[in-house]
């Protein structure tokens, strides 16, 4: 049985103090979740990683990005050894906002993923189509390309440290949800593509849906056979709705 995962993506929100206050309130939520077999985590900004990590226990603390080089002349970037020093071992790669604003290509994602997995880190790899691609019926073509390039040249053992998040770009932060049927159809497709690349380990792969998930709709997505969890932006920012999402899954 695959575990469930709820991961909050805080994007460029919360100061260090705000992040720390949130972290301090997570203990009972993590306890409630873990007794129901649910993993929970948040991805704060780089600045707040340490504060969240050191003011929580059992909460997954993920970075929102990283560079594939260990050090060097890459102004504004943060490397894997820097994250590891803080005890961070989860990283989101290929979020659509990074693809859109920061030229995050599938090839660049693959470089980062290779490096992260070589460092025994866990990767949450985001895939998903734009509204135009969705309207043109290209969802699966786009998602397949993102998977085949982003996850190329790994081995099946490494796949155990990969989570894939299917996030239709048109539903991120827009309040326009993909239906449960679309989420299930594409998440099952993700699992099948990974199966064709790496075999039976795909049955253990956690596949998340992301896009305007909130307490009122999260249970519907997670009731789908191939949706193992959710990557949540807006609704993960307030401790009350974060907690309500966990409660909705129990």
Residue number of the CB closest to ligand PEP reads 233
d(CA 38, CA 31): 10
List C-alpha distances in Å: 18 to 21, 23, 49, 189, 239.
5, 9, 12, 38, 11
129 binds ligand PEP (CB under 6 A): no
Does 9 help bind ligand PEP (rule: CB under 6 A)? Answer: yes
Asked if 212 touches ligand PEP (CB under 6 A), the answer is yes
**What 8-state DSSP symbol labels residue 167?**
-
Site mask for ligand PEP (CB under 6 A), range 153-182, x = bound: --------------x----xx---------
Binder among 117, 123, 164, 213 for ligand PEP (CB under 6 A): 213
Q: Does residue 167 carry a catalytic annotation?
A: yes
Stretch that binds ligand PEP, among 52-60, 65-73, 152-160, 207-215 (CB under 6 A): 207-215
Q: How far is the CB of 250 from ligand PEP (least distance, A)?
A: 20
Instruction: Return the closest-CA partner of residue 246 out of 230, 234, 227.
Output: 230
8 A C-beta contact, residue 91 and residue 7: no
Q: Is 26 in the site for ligand PEP (CB under 6 A)?
A: no
Q: Is 95 known to be catalytic?
A: yes
* 40/57 Cα distance (integer angstroms): 11
Three-state DSSP class for residue 14: coil
Using DSSP bridges, classify how beta strands 122-127 and 90-93 pair: parallel, antiparallel or unpaired: parallel
Residues annotated catalytic, as ranges: 95, 167
Residues that bind ligand PEP (CB under 6 A): 9, 11, 167, 172-173, 210-213, 231-235
């Amino acid at each position: 049985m695959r575990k469930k995962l709820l991961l909050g993506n805080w994007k460029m929100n919360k100061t260090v103090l705000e992040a720390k206050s949130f972290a301090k309130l997570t203990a009972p939520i993590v306890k409630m979740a873990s007794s129901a077999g649910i993993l929970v985590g948040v991805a704060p900004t780089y600045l707040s990683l340490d504060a969240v990590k050191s003011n929580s226990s059992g909460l997954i603390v993920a970075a929102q990005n990283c560079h594939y080089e260990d050090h060097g002349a890459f102004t504004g970037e943060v490397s894997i050894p820097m994250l590891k020093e803080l005890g961070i071992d989860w990283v989101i790669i290929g979020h659509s906002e990074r693809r859109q604003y920061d030229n995050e290509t599938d090839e660049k994602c693959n470089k980062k993923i290779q490096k992260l997995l070589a460092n025994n880190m866990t990767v949450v790899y985001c895939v998903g189509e734009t509204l135009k691609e969705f309207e043109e019926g290209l969802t699966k073509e786009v998602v397949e390309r993102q998977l085949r390039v982003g996850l190329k040249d790994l081995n099946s053992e490494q796949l155990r440290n990969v989570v894939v998040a299917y996030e239709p770009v048109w539903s991120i932060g827009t309040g326009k949800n993909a239906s449960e049927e679309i989420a299930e159809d594409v998440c099952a497709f993700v699992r099948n593509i990974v199966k064709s690349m790496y075999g039976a380990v795909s049955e253990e792969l956690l596949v998340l849906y992301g896009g305007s998930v909130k307490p009122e709709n999260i249970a519907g997505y997670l009731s789908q056979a191939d949706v193992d969890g959710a990557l949540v932006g807006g609704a993960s920012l307030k401790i009350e709705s974060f907690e309500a999402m966990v409660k909705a899954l129990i």
